[in-house]
């Protein structure tokens, strides 16, 4: 479900990476003391280097990139989080998928001021 969630976000430059970083931060906060930084650091480093390129729309991850990000979030959730947190994440992801079957995620982001601010941060107007 995380794989599809990141794919749903990957419609505008930088959006999937922002989503990845947000969810990664939440996982790290929920998994205090259980995080294996050796697993997280390599991909995180690559993402942070690539992020400005994606924001400026000079390159595009596409489905292959967003799928890898989603897969790793799912993996991190399984290995780092306790069962109650895993259940909460699962419920959230199912709810998001049900929501996005009925409503456009981009439409929602554009209408919620905080989400719109985060979404547009770092992007130029011509890059969406």
Q: Looking at residues 45-69, what average pLDDT do you find?
A: 92
In the 3-class helix/strand/coil scheme, how is 78-121 assigned residue by residue? HHHCCHHHHHHHHHHHHHHHHHHHHCCHHHHHHHCHHHHHHHHC
Q: Across all residues in the chain, what is the average pLDDT?
A: 93
Res 128 pLDDT > 60:
no
Please, which pLDDT band fits residue 46 given cuts at 50, 70 and 90?
A: very high
pLDDT digits (tens, 9 = 90+) for 75-92: 999 999 999 999 999 999
């Amino acid at each position: 479900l995380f794989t599809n969630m990141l794919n749903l976000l990957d419609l505008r430059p930088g959006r999937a990476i922002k989503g990845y970083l947000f969810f990664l931060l939440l996982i790290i906060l929920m998994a205090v003391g259980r995080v294996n930084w050796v697993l997280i650091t390599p991909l995180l480093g690559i993402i942070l280097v690539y992020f400005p390129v994606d924001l400026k729309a000079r390159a595009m991850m596409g489905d292959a990139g967003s799928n890898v990000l989603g897969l790793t979030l799912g993996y991190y959730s399984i290995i780092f989080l306790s069962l109650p947190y895993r259940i909460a994440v699962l419920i959230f992801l199912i709810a998001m998928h049900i929501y996005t079957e009925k409503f456009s995620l981009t439409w929602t982001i554009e209408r919620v001021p905080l989400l719109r601010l985060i979404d547009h941060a770092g992007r130029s107007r011509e890059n969406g």
